[in-house]
Structure 1
Amino acid sequence: MFSKSIVALVTPFNHLGEVDYDSLKSLVEYHIKSGSNGIVAVGTTGESATLTVEEHVKVVNKTVEFAAGRIPIIAGTGANATHEAVTFSRLLNNSGVAGCLSVTPYYNKPTQEGLYQHYKAIAEVSEVPVILYNVPGRTGVDLLPETVGRLSKLDKIVGIKDATGDLSRVEKFRELCGEDFILLSGDDATGLDFVKLGGDGVISVTNNIAAADMAQMFQLAADGQFEEAEKINQKLMPLHKNLFVESSPIPVKWAAHQMGLIKEGDLRLPLTVLSEPAQVIVTQALKDAGIQ
């Protein structure tokens, strides 16, 4: 269920800072029509850090409603307080999500044992599969392969989204976690290489604006046609890199607005609109990728 090209979906806001559910519905339809293999609702790219608990749950529930069983929805349920992450898991257990994605506790900088106990607590209350999420560049803590190996033995923990870009980890994960453990890249620039080495797919920022190309690329990879997949990957490489010219999701949200995928490109403070110099860079990346 969790493989190939999964989008880390943006959360659209209107100019008043409210969630734009009409645009959210349009985004879900765009990804279904484009062949995306899954949607992560309210992850990092969905600005989970600035949504209230009520908004967070509602956005997930509305995404499930709009999808109507046509595409798996994965709920972002991470938090830096274990009790809060547990609460999100409980609140979304009966929402119809296919699984949840839980980021490592940010700012606290727990030990590896602390990370193990954090995820163990989540696994004990979750009624849906749990995907670990490791992104040290944002959280300040690294979930090491050895700890992932321990966690893979727990019921409900089925995979990991690894955004380190460290391709040497793929082999370590397979050795420590087994062949059935789901390995997803969280780094677009190395995502295809991650799959070549034995990964199952990617949870992608680029997918927000190049969904059909991403779906085709990872289907080709799944079929072992890596040469053809690489041609698409090289075309998209300007996006893989330049959608991070400023903190994500600033660039991708601006691009989605420019493409008419969302009505407005507003973000919530402390994130601000893409700067003019960066707009030039992202515009060129869209052109280079054949998007505009």
Structure 2
Amino acid sequence: MTVEKFKGVFPAFYACYDEAGEISESRTIELCHYLYEKGINGLYVSGSSGECIYHNLEERKATLKYVAETLRGKITLIAHVGAPSTRESVILAKYAEELGYDALSAIPPIYFRLPESAIFNYWTEIMDATELPFIIYNIPQTTGYSLSINLFRKLKENKKVIGVKNSSMPVLDIERFKAEGGDNFIVFNGPDEQYISGRLIGADSGIGGTYGAMPELFLKAEEFVKSGNFEQAGKIQRDINDIIIALCSLNGSMYSVIKEVLKLNGINIGSVRGPLEPVTGEDLEKVKDIKQMIDNAIQKYVK
């Protein structure tokens, strides 16, 4: 299969709640339209940014359903199906296939420290459950497991493995996975703080949790890379990093800050689910300054 459809800027989709903190169909659809109209290339649905580990099976299926019914066939959709048990992951994988998703992805198993044989079996059982291509998700800072080259090679023998979402901080990992994967293998840059360096060292695309707060900037960064304008690419990355640092500077989860920024843009998708903390008190006023940072950067780079 061609992997061209998996290239570009893929925001990690946020959980959308109503005022009671339940998954909201209408707000999920609204966020879909908002991001689609910005010109994104695809979405990564029900991953870390979607607060997936705090959702039960039916809630995750609901989010997958609402996004697919809104954007299926318009952009590339990747369903993250990693769950606490293999059984739940397989259920989600089969459901995503029914909904028409373009590919699956999953973090490695969490909580228990498992040998690589168990991690291999977990990913393989997910892949065997459907005919969809599969994207490995390497995020050692949250899962406690760093994908080894040996396991990567073993997994890549499965024809369904078409890529890896690499969220480890060393850009060397991106270069190594790309070198091992080859031209017809997609490597997604994970850390938003290194989008440009990740692209230059071998990443074909990006999936990120802050893209939704400033899709215009990441789309422009991608444009600079593609055109070879590396001076401007470096400048926009510095401004993006200033914004990311600000997003992480307040009390409360970064995702709650992003959701407050979106509210100022007219997109209300609620706050976050505990134990993630919402933005409160004086920090709510500081969100306005962060939005202004984003608006200033967009004005600077996006003509």
Q: Provide the TM-score with structure 1 as the length reference.
A: 0.91
**Amino acid corresponding to residue 271 of structure 1 in structure 2:** L
* Preserved contact between residue 217 and residue 229 of structure 1 (Cα < 8 Å): yes
Counterpart position of 1:266: 271
1:239 Cα deviation (Å)? 2.4
1:235 pairs with one of 230, 239, 264: 239
Count of aligned positions: 291
* Preserved contact between residue 145 and residue 169 of structure 1 (Cα < 8 Å): no
Mapped partners of 2:149, 2:231: distance in 1: 29
Mapped partners of 1:81, 1:291: distance in 2: 44
**Amino acid corresponding to residue 32 of structure 1 in structure 2:** Y
1:288 aligns with 2:264: no
* Preserved contact between residue 206 and residue 239 of structure 1 (Cα < 8 Å): no
Mapped partners of 2:148, 2:221: distance in 1: 29
Deviations 1:189-209 (A, max 9, x none): 012110011111211122111
Counterpart position of 1:74: 78
1:201 aligns with 2:205: yes
**Amino acid corresponding to residue 85 of structure 1 in structure 2:** S
Mapped partners of 2:106, 2:220: distance in 1: 27
Q: Provide the TM-score with structure 2 as the length reference.
A: 0.88
Q: How does 1:120-131 map to 2 (within 5 A)?
A: 120-131=124-135
1:251 aligns with 2:257: yes
Mapped partners of 1:288, 1:58: distance in 2: 34
1:217 aligns with 2:221: yes
Q: Which has the higher helix share?
A: 2
Root-mean-square deviation (CA, aligned residues, Å) is: 2.1
1:15 aligns with 2:41: no
1:282 Cα deviation (Å)? 4.8
* Pair 160,279 (structure 1): closer, same or farther in 2 beyond 3 Å: farther
SS at 1:249 equivalent: helix
Deviations 1:48-72 (A, max 9, x none): 1122212211211110111142111
Mapped partners of 2:272, 2:294: distance in 1: 25
1:174 Cα deviation (Å)? 2.2
* Pair 241,54 (structure 1): closer, same or farther in 2 beyond 3 Å: same
1:276 Cα deviation (Å)? 4.4
Structure 1, unmatched stretches of 5+, are: none
1:274 Cα deviation (Å)? 2.1
Identical residues among aligned pairs (%): 23
**Amino acid corresponding to residue 270 of structure 2 in structure 1:** G
* Pair 91,59 (structure 1): closer, same or farther in 2 beyond 3 Å: same
**Amino acid corresponding to residue 118 of structure 1 in structure 2:** Y
Deviations 1:3-60 (A, max 9, x none): 2210001111011112222222121112121111111121111111122212211211
Instruction: State which drifts further: 15-24 or 197-206.
Output: 15-24
